[in-house]
Amino acid sequence: MKRIRFWLAILICAASTITAHAGSIYDAPQSAPLFRSYFESAGRIGNEQSMVQGDLFLTTLQTDTSLLYVDLRTNYVDSDKYEGNFGLGWRGIVDDSYIFGMYGYFDRTRSALENYFSQGTFGMEFMSNEWDFRANGYFPQTGGERSGTSIAVFNGTNFIVSTPFEYAYYGTDLEIGKLLASTTDGGVELRAFLTGYYFDRDIPAFEEIAGGRVRFEMRMYDLDWLGPGSRVMLGAQYQYDDYNESVTSGLVTVRIPFGAAQRTPYGLQRRMLDTIVRDNDIVTRRGTLRERGLDPETNNPFPRSIVVDGSTNAVAQVAAAQPNTMIVVNGDQGLVNVAAPLVLKDGQILRSAGFQVLGEQTKRLATFGSAGTLVGTNATQNVIVLANNVELRDLTVMGGLNSVFGNGVTSVEIHDNTFLSAAQTGIMTLGLSRAEIMRNVIDQGVSFDEFRGTVSQNSIDANALFGINATSLNGVVASNIISGNAAVGASITTMTSGSFSDNQFTGTVGDGVTINSFNSGTFDNNQFTNVTNRGVAIASMAGGTISNTDIQGTPVTGIAITTMSGGTLTENVVSNATQDAFAVGTLSGGTIDLNVASSSGQHGFNIGTFLSGNVTTNVATGNAGSGFEFGLLNSNIVDGDISGNRATGNGVGFNIASIIGSPTISQNTANSNIGAGFVVASATGAMQFDSNVANNNGGVGFSLPTIANGFVTSNTANSNAGAGMTIAAITNGSITGNSFASNGAGGLVIGNINVGSVSNNTATGNTGAGITMGVLNNGSFNGNTSTGNTGHGFSIVDFDFGTMSNNTADANGGDGFNFAEFTNGTLSASSASNNTGNGFFVATYDGGILSDINGNTADSNGVDGFNIGSIGGWSGGAMTSNVSTDNVGFGYNIQNRTGGTAVGNTATGNADNTLP
């Protein structure tokens, strides 16, 4: 466009200059314009094509010897081509003998191929009454337009991109014309014209167009039936060039001027209104541009290549190919059958056709061939045999023994292929290192003896045995989809490093993943759905991390580890397992933490033998068995730790068959389980049972065995259907700082205490007694509080030896303290107040010389302050310095006394204040 505007400006300046020097006998000014605007309609009928044209010629500035005009044209060619021209020109009569003219046009066309082109046209003309001389130049403003689909071909050496293009041509034409004859009055003329033309584009495959044209015109002027200034032209034309060859046309033109004729030009003046002669349409040509093809992934030429297809001997071609050759399998000739292996050489690329090729100049993309399929027709032979530094891509491989086989090779890329129906395995390698196996579809799995590389984003489906099989894994297995395997999704003999992550397993008939020996590495974010056996099965785990595994709906166990001596099992989720969610045969080290087990048919976490290690911060919800099931806790080292775990809605919260040694069981929570919150069947050693919580369970909160040298401290049991805590016996252990509230069968229930202590515990609002003991024999029971329970505050079968001091019983539904028998020991500094029954009740007081009920207080109880001997009498022991105040009954109700001593007791405000 800029060039067109430039030439138009030059044209106007030149016209102005020539006009200033033009003169003739016609220079005298006249009152009416001489040159009238007109409309002209033209038609051409030819043996190749026909055209119609409309031409609006508008005179603007004029004198009798000069004219500035605007020419607007439109034409239609019957090949469905349209064009419009906008022209500006000048003509002037020079020396009364000839006309000089210049003009310029902007042209716009829509070709028959529906491409759009623009050009500038510039011309000059000399005309006399008898002769015509003119020259035109044509300057396209647009490049080529693609006129079809690009295709890629292989010429035996290179890939070539062929693209059909349509280009507008640069060009010029030169014409000479001669008046052959005319009538006397000049009303009819016969003129002949000879034209030569040349058009070119300077682009390979777009050849020049050069030819000639001869035209005859019979012109008729000022026809009566059309009026003065009208014209009719009848003509014939013949042209020839190598592109169009012979073209013969008939011509007809009809002109109608605008407005009434006040003055009519004649002779040379009449020629000032001749039609501008130029090529009526932009010259375009369709051709095929052939250019070297590049690899669009690199923008570089393809390597040395060969093409095999169904019509060639692929085995022989591959055998003859040099190293570093690209071998293309083209499917245009159908399947490529091979009865023997394609044995690759170093650095070769074996790929399917159907890939894109980039035109080096035009940057057009074309597809070469169609996807190829290799068919191994011999089930005892491998289809492809690898070499070092080779690449397999985009292939479909069917049949054969193994689709791909490699032995001792390195630096291999296998990606975006489909491997189907191999008799044995999709990909099998021995000693493969530095390999990338990515985005393949494989229906017979992959097998490695020792693997160092990457297996990722593959779809491995419907395998007869396994999806992935590796003797030793030191690489990366990631983001694969493995489904429908008949035996196991992935089988790894030894995992010594590397990563197995983000894989999906579904519909596997056997285990999802089996690992014989897990020594290090990561197993992360793998998902298992509808696996028909165990989700993950590990024979031995000595290190590494298993994390973020998601297993849903296994009919056996979610994650099963036979022996775990190290490593970390963390943040895994198992739901709806038919058996256990997590099962560990022997835990002798390592950490199990932050895992979730839900809705399993048996246990959430099942650990057979716990020798050492940590089980922390796990969650078990809605499992039919125990949330946490432990067989034997044999932890003789200090760091054996079970802490921070939570069990909710299970059959039992925590169930421990046997404890040996000194594990720590702390800060665990068992809430709303169907049965007990915590059950420990037996325990020896200094067990640490600390700060655990059992609430709202359907059975007892804590069911503990005999505590021998162990510590049960700071635990909480609230609102359980059974007792808050039951302890079979205490032999030199400690029960301290525990809290029991609103339980259905008492707060704390202890069988016997044989050398040990129960201290600073609290029982509040329980149904039944707050704290119940069998025999207190040489132990201590100090600082405990029992408040608001429906039964006795403290219920003791036999106080045989030991001390009870600083205990408090308040507002209980029975007695504050109830002893069936008081044989020996000291009850001191304790208080009983506001209880419904007696403050202190001792059915039989047959204490020895060391027995003493000393310094206790009974206040505002519903019966007696102290009731002694009502069943077995008082036959021995002392009562000293006790206080009984404001009780409903006796301050001291002593019955059947046959011995004992009473000194320093006081009674006030009771119904009977008699002192013993």
Nearest to 85 by CA among 50, 47, 113, 123: 123
Return phi, psi of residue 900, to 5°: 90, 170
Residue 416 and residue 393 in contact, taking contact as beta carbons nearer than 8 Å: yes
Q: What is the CA radius of gyration of the chain?
A: 54
Residue 377 and residue 397 in contact, taking contact as beta carbons nearer than 8 Å: no
0.95 surpassed by pTM: no
Distances (CA, A) of 368 to 150, 163, 295, 309, 395: 10, 13, 11, 13, 14
Report d(CA 462, CA 447) in Å as an integer: 15
Per DSSP, the three-state class of 50 is coil
Residue ranges of the chain with pLDDT lower than 50?
1-30, 637-638
371-406 as b/e, with b when 16 or more CB fall inside 10 Å? bbbbbbebeebbbbbbbbbbbbbbbbbbbbbbbbbb
Residue 704 and residue 681 in contact, taking contact as beta carbons nearer than 8 Å: no
Q: Where are the domains of the chain?
A: 2-146+164-282, 445-542+549-556, 560-698
Residue bearing tokens 């932009």: 282
Adjacent-strand bridge partners of 345: none
Distances (CA, A) of 231 to 173, 223, 224, 280, 438: 26, 7, 10, 20, 79
Measure CA 794 to chain center: 63
Task: Read off the DSSP letter of residue 302.
Answer: P
Q: What is the DSSP string of 511-533?
A: EEEEEEEE-SSEEES-EEES-SS
Residue bearing tokens 């001749």: 274
- DSSP-derived pairing of the beta strands 159-168 and 151-154: antiparallel
Q: Per the structure block, which two tokens stand in for 421?
A: 């129906």
Q: Per the structure block, which two tokens stand in for 675?
A: 């049965």
Report d(CA 896, CA 668) in Å as an integer: 51
Q: Per the structure block, which two tokens stand in for 10?
A: 């030059």
Residue 51 and residue 87 in contact, taking contact as beta carbons nearer than 8 Å: no
What is the structure's pLDDT at 464? 66
Return phi, psi of residue 604, to 5°: -70, -55
Report d(CA 547, CA 140) in Å as an integer: 68
Q: Per the structure block, which two tokens stand in for 556?
A: 């056996």
* N residues, the chain: 916
Residue 789 and residue 765 in contact, taking contact as beta carbons nearer than 8 Å: yes
Q: How many CB atoms lie within 10 A of CB 670?
A: 32
What is the structure's pLDDT at 462? 66
Q: How many CB atoms lie within 10 A of CB 901?
A: 12
Report d(CA 447, CA 457) in Å as an integer: 16
Per DSSP, the three-state class of 230 is coil
Measure CA 316 to chain center: 43
What is the structure's pLDDT at 172? 97
Residue bearing tokens 């689709």: 403
Report d(CA 727, CA 713) in Å as an integer: 13
Report d(CA 626, CA 113) in Å as an integer: 79
Task: Read off the DSSP letter of residue 332.
Answer: G
Nearest to 384 by CA among 342, 441, 432: 342
Please enumerate in sequence order all residues whose Cβ is within 8 A of that of 463, keeping only pairs 6 or more positions apart, or say none.
442, 443, 444, 445, 484, 485, 486
Determine the topology of domain 2-146+164-282 in CATH. Answer: Porin (2.40.160)
Return phi, psi of residue 128, to 5°: -120, -170
What is the structure's pLDDT at 243? 86
Q: Per the structure block, which two tokens stand in for 169?
A: 């041509």
Q: How many CB atoms lie within 10 A of CB 246?
A: 11
Q: What is the DSSP string of 750-786?
A: EEEEES-EEES-EEES-SS-SEEEEEEEEEEEES-EE
